[in-house]
Every structure is written in structure tokens, then in C-alpha cells.
Structure 1
Amino acid sequence: MITTGKERILIIAPHADDEVLGCGGLIEKGCRFKNQVKVVVIAVGEITHPHSHETVTAATRINELKEALEILGCLDFEVLYHDKDSLLDTMPKNELISKLDKILNDFKPTMVFIPLPSYHQDHVVLFDTCFAALRPKPGQLIKLIAMYEYPLISWQYQKFWNTGELYLDLSNTIQMKVDSFLKHKSQRRPPNHLISPESVKKWAEMRGLEIGLPYAEKYYILRSHIL
């Protein structure tokens, strides 16, 4: 489906690193086959991480994002807010929906990938606002809208079992996904944490086992149609 070179693939992520955790393989394959791939990260900002007690600046997060996407071959990205990390629930939703509407109108994607909501308030807000922005509209014919995973959906009170499922084969590209995640140095956790290079690989191995592949990414279909 993404091997034609004719797709316009839009990935919307709450924070820098979510795009690789959820869609690293998709970004790489989309770019490798000369499709137009755009990554929109909603929020970065200066924040002190509880796992490391280190303060990370917005500039650091953006630089990490740039380096991570370069490994995957993606040069088209933007960050909407430089001071809203973990604060999206304090914003008027109509402001964010308006910004997403503009991105959709300008980029005119054929495929859109949004985050599956998790316990994190930014992920919940972004899912809700993406769902609103992707409402059916005349002239906006998107052939696939799907949700991508975030490892911490393992702590999720609302399960998404009533959706179609898509898998992307990562058998030959899993190391590229791991290498890309490693560029998000400020987000790296210990090996036994769900957000670690080791767990990125284990998660892909788990999804691969579900369909008989060494490694895979999993997506949940919200809407799709055949042209």
C-alpha cells in the first residue's frame, strides 16, 4: 500500500519520540519508497523528567527529533508548540483543532496516523482533537486513518478491541527503528522500562509473533476505503 511513491502520509505525535515508538518502521518505509511523509509533533518544552531528574529543553527535544527522523529518511517535520509538553489539557481544544484543520487542508494527506490514547493527558487530548479534525468533510478523501501504539498503552483503562488491525513487517528494518529511537537520548530509560531501546525491539518482536514475522508494528484502523 505504501510502496507506490504516490502517498502523502501524515503522522501526528504528542511529543518527540512518540513518532518513532509508534511509527518508526512506517516512516522509514514510506520515505524509502519516495512517498511524501510529514511528521507533526504537537508539543515539546522544558521539562524535568522524574526518571532522570534532568531538565531537558525544547531545543534539545527538537534536535533529537531531527536526528531521529534523519535516520529514517524523513526531512519534513514541524513542532507546533515549544512550551506545552504535558500541558495540552490546559489549552482550548478548538485552538488545536483549528491548527490540525489547517495542516490537513495544506498537506492533503492520503493516510493519517494518530496516537492511540493512553493514560497520559497529552495523548488523550491529541486523540480527541485529531478525531474531531478528521471528521468526514466534502473533498477531504483520506483513504486510511489509523491509530499507532505507544508502549505505555499497557496501562490503559479503555481498550480498543473493536477496530480492524494492520501490521507492518519490520523484519529487515527493526535495527533502524531502534537506532532512530536512540537519538532521543533524553527519553531513554533503563532496559527493563517500556520506553527503552531493548523494549522497542521486544515490543516489535511481540507484534511480529502475532502474525508469524520476526518483528512488526501494529496499527488500529479507524476508517478506510477503497478507491
Structure 2
Amino acid sequence: MITSGLEKILIIAPHADDEVLGCGGLIEKACRYNNQVKVVVLSVGDIVFPHSNEKVLGTTRIKELEEALEVLGCSDFEVMYQDKDSLLDTIPKAEIIAKLDKILNDFIPTMVFIPLPSYHQDHVVLFETCFAALRPKPNRFIKLIAMYEYPLISWQYQKFWNTGELYLDLSNTIQKKVESYLKHKSQIRPHNHLISPESVIKWAEMRGLETGLAYAEKYYILRSHLL
């Protein structure tokens, strides 16, 4: 479907780097085929990361996001909150839902991709608010709503085994995905960490093995329509 050049694809991510970890291949392929892709990141902020013990500014995260998306061919992005990294649970959910409603009404996507919930409170808040914002409404037709994964869901208290599954072939775009992830310099972990560049490749290899491909991204269907 994304080879048509007719899709309007909305990707909603909790933090800058989740969009590449979950949907880097999808973004690259959709943009390469001239589909309209918009990335919305809910939160960045000044924060000290345990893996580096260094303070990273929100402005740095936004710059990294811009550079990462540039590698994938995407220039349409926005950051909803620039001072709420790891603090989304402090914002009234109704406020986030209202902002998401406006984005949906303005962009009018044909496909929407949201994160699987995980142990991180920001990911849980975003999943729940996206689920509310994407409720069925008259005159809003979205042909596909799906959840994307990222390595941190390996520590997940709820498993989504009862959804339909989609795989995206990354055989020709895995290097672009890794190149894009490397632009998130503040997020790079050692090779044996779940979200290292090496693990990005291993994760794609694992999903590829499940479906007979060299590399793949996996998505979980929440709602879809046959046309």
C-alpha cells in the first residue's frame, strides 16, 4: 500500500528515537515512494540519562530528531511538549487527547502508527491517549491503525498476541534505518544493550526470520479496512 504514493501516514512517538526504532524502515520506504509522512513526538526535555550520566538538552533532542528524519527523507515533524521527557503522566490525559484530535483533524491520515505500551510511563500514557483519540467517529476514515514495536517491549507485562500482524520488508533499507538511528547521538548505548545500533540490526533480523526475509519491521493491527 505504501508504494502507491497516495497515503498520508501519521507516526506518533513518545520520545525522539522511538520513531526510528519502531518505524524507521516504514518512514524511509513511504517517503521514497512519495507518500506524505508526518511524525509527531510527544515529549523531549532537559534530562540526565543514566547510560551516559550526562545532561542532554531538549533542543539537542529536537536537532537529533530532525537529522534522523532527514536521513529517511521525512521533513514533516513536530514536538508536542518540549519540557516533559518522562513526565507525560503529569499531564491531564484530556489535554493530550485534545491535541491529538487536532492533529488527526488537520492532517487527515489514511494510516496511523502508535507505540505498543511498555514499562515506561510515557509509552503507556501515549498508547492510552492515542487509543482514545483514534476512537471511531463519523466522517473519519483511517484504513489502517497499527502499533509498532521497539526492543524495550521485551520487558512487557502485557503481551499483544491476539492482534493481526504485519511485516515490512527492510531488506533494502536496513542500513538507512541504522544510519538514521545513529543521528540520535545522545541515545546510543553499548553494543550489548537492547537499543544499541547492533541490536537494531539483530531485532530486524529476528523479525525477518519470522517471515522469510533478511530484515523486517513488525506491526500489530488495531483496526483495518478492506477497500
Structure 2 length-normalised TM: 1.00
Residue 97 (structure 2) pairs with residue 97 (structure 1): yes
Corresponding residue for residue 13 of structure 2: 13
1:150 Cα shift? 1.5
Partner deviation per Cα, 1:121-170 (whole Å, 9 max, x = no partner): 00000000000000000010000000000211000010000000000000
Residue 174 (structure 2) pairs with residue 180 (structure 1): no
| Paired letter, 1:222 | L
**Partner-residue secondary structure (3-state), 2:112:** strand
**Partner-residue secondary structure (3-state), 2:66:** helix
Task: Structure 1 unaligned segments of length 5 or more: list them.
Answer: none
**Partner-residue secondary structure (3-state), 2:75:** coil
**Partner-residue secondary structure (3-state), 2:60:** helix
**Partner-residue secondary structure (3-state), 2:159:** coil
| Paired letter, 1:43 | S
RMSD: 0.4
1:90, 1:81 → 2: CA distance?
12
1:108 Cα shift? 0.1
Corresponding residue for residue 195 of structure 2: 195
| Percentage identity across paired residues of the two chains | 82
Query: How many residue pairs align between the two structures?
Result: 227
Corresponding residue for residue 152 of structure 2: 152
1:32, 1:150 → 2: CA distance?
23
1:226 Cα shift? 1.3
1:209 Cα shift? 0.2
| Paired letter, 1:212 | G
Task: Structure 2 unaligned segments of length 5 or more: list them.
Answer: none
Corresponding residue for residue 61 of structure 1: 61
Corresponding residue for residue 141 of structure 1: 141
2:195, 2:55 → 1: CA distance?
18
1:206, 1:175 → 2: CA distance?
16
- Give every structure 1 segment of 4 or more consecutive aligned residues whose post-TM-superposition deviation is greater than 2 Å: none
Corresponding residue for residue 215 of structure 1: 215
| Paired letter, 1:162 | N
| Paired letter, 1:193 | H
Corresponding residue for residue 52 of structure 1: 52
Corresponding residue for residue 74 of structure 1: 74
1:29, 1:91 → 2: CA distance?
34
Corresponding residue for residue 83 of structure 2: 83
Corresponding residue for residue 206 of structure 2: 206
Q: How does 1:91-130 map to 2 (within 5 A)?
A: 91-130=91-130
**Partner-residue secondary structure (3-state), 2:53:** coil
**Partner-residue secondary structure (3-state), 2:223:** strand
1:90 Cα shift? 0.7
1:211, 1:226 → 2: CA distance?
22
2:172, 2:5 → 1: CA distance?
20
| Paired letter, 1:22 | G
**Partner-residue secondary structure (3-state), 1:171:** coil
